[in-house]
Amino acid sequence: MKKSNSNYALLYERERNKVNKKLAVALKNRKPESLYKPSDYILSNSGKRLRPILVLFSAKASNGNMNSVFNAALSVEMLHNFTLIHDDIMDNADLRRGKKTLHKLYDLNTAILAGDSLLSVAYEYLLKDCKVNAREAVSAFTEGLIEVCEGQSLDTDFEKRNDVSLDEYIVMIKKKTAALAKMCCKLGAILSDAKQSDIKALSDYGLNLGIAFQIQDDLLDIIGEEKDFGKTVGGDLIAGKKTFLVIKALEKAKGEYKKELLKMIKNKGIKPEKVNYFKQMFINLGVVEDAKKEIRKFTEKALRSIDRLSNKNEISFFYWLADSLIERNK
């Protein structure tokens, strides 16, 4: 018998709270304070904790014990926050989850070093849970890190180009965002000694869910409310980023809309007061609906992947998770 959606929400929140509690003490009593206090600040700025949740429930779906992979779950959240620190620096972002970004609260050098320390401690935590398949686990973790860096580099390259295609964009977010979700699912399965077919099913689920998640993030940048979103609404446009909506709009726009889009690219962004104009443009061109269709497409691919899981009792949680992520407002 399948658990109700409310039960899954409670399960998610229970594990999220455990993750938060363990992260709150992960860096306590480490010296020097000048290094670990900023790192602790970024870890305490709690988000969805999606990535550690993927590790934990992928282990459970592989007939493993969630407690036996908890350190690994913490390690992927540390890795994720390492990438966020550096991403915020490169974007010169002011806010992250509604709070000041690390380089704005402290300074650039402190933020860079805090990020590097988080990555180092992440490996330390991962190794605590490498009781089986250690080489495969560390390899998967490292591969995820490499792909995130490659994706960030592609994203930076796109800022210098005016001819980015949707196919190129999908490749970029596969690396920058989806590769980490894929790695989390794969890691939980590997550390639970899952069979290869289940590792593949969970990995494919994470990859496709990650792509849908990023396009939803692009969409929320335009239609979200800042109090919910935790970031400046329209921040991607202000920064001149070539998101799914911008690239799709460039394909469809003519006349004045085309002129404004090309102007945005030339100027490497827009002024904040122009955000509503671009929001209405995207609605009128149908690219908001195009984004929603693409989100549904990759979500359905994720669900087809998880249907291959041999432990049928655990599939419904992953359905609930996918549904909750595409319906989110932050």
Write out pLDDT tens, residues 19-75: 999 999 999 999 999 999 999 999 998 889 999 999 999 999 999 999 999 999 999
The answer to whether 158 touches 175, Cβ cutoff 8 Å, is: no
Does the pLDDT value for residue 229 go beyond 70?
no
Q: Are 46 and 20 contacting, i.e. CB atoms less than 8 angstroms apart? A: yes
Average pLDDT on 275-289 reads 97
pLDDT(7) > 70: yes
pLDDT of residue 71: 98
Q: Is the pLDDT of residue 2 over 50?
A: no
DSSP letter (8 states) at residue 30: -
Q: In sequence order, what DSSP letters do the residues of 84-127 get, joined into one string? A: HHHHHHHHT-SEETTEE-HHHHS-HHHHHHHHHHHHHHHHHHHH
Phi, psi of 119, deg, nearest 5: -65, -40
**pLDDT on residue 93:** 83
State yes or no: pLDDT of 225 exceeds 70: no
In the predicted model, what is the mean pLDDT of residues 201-207? Answer: 98
Q: Quick one: tokens of 303?
A: 């669900």
- Looking at per-residue confidence, does 227 or 16 come out higher? 16
pLDDT value of position 96 = 84
For the chain, the domain total comes to 1
In a domain, 250, yes or no: yes
Is residue 101 in a domain? yes
Asked whether residue 2 is assigned to any structural domain, the reply reads: no
Do the Cβ atoms of 209 and 299 come closer than 8 Å? Answer: yes
Kindly tell me if the per-residue pLDDT of 1 is higher than 70: no
CA-to-CA distance for 137 and 131, rounded, in angstroms? 10
What is the CATH classification number for the domain harbouring 135? 1.10.600.10
Nearest to 151 by CA among 211, 94, 201, 206: 211
Q: What is the mean pLDDT of residues 168-181?
A: 97
Task: Write down how long the chain is.
Answer: 330
Half-sphere exposure of 42 (CA within 13 A, CB side): 33
Average pLDDT over residues 86-104: 89
Record the tokens describing residue 19, joined without a space: 């993750």
Q: Is the peptide bond before 272 cis (omega within 30 degrees of 0)?
A: no
Give yes or no for residue 135 having a pLDDT over 90: yes
The answer to whether residue 3 sits within a structural domain is no
> Is 86 part of any domain?
yes
If one compares 145 and 231, the residue with the highest pLDDT of the two is: 145
Helix (H) or strand (E) holding 23: helix 5-26
CB atoms within 10 A of CB 258: 13
Residue 106 lies in a domain: yes
pLDDT per position as a tens digit, 183-193 = 999 999 999 99
pLDDT, tens only, 156-166: 999 888 889 99
What pLDDT does residue 178 have?
A: 98
Write out the residue range of the structural domain in which residue 104 sits.
8-326
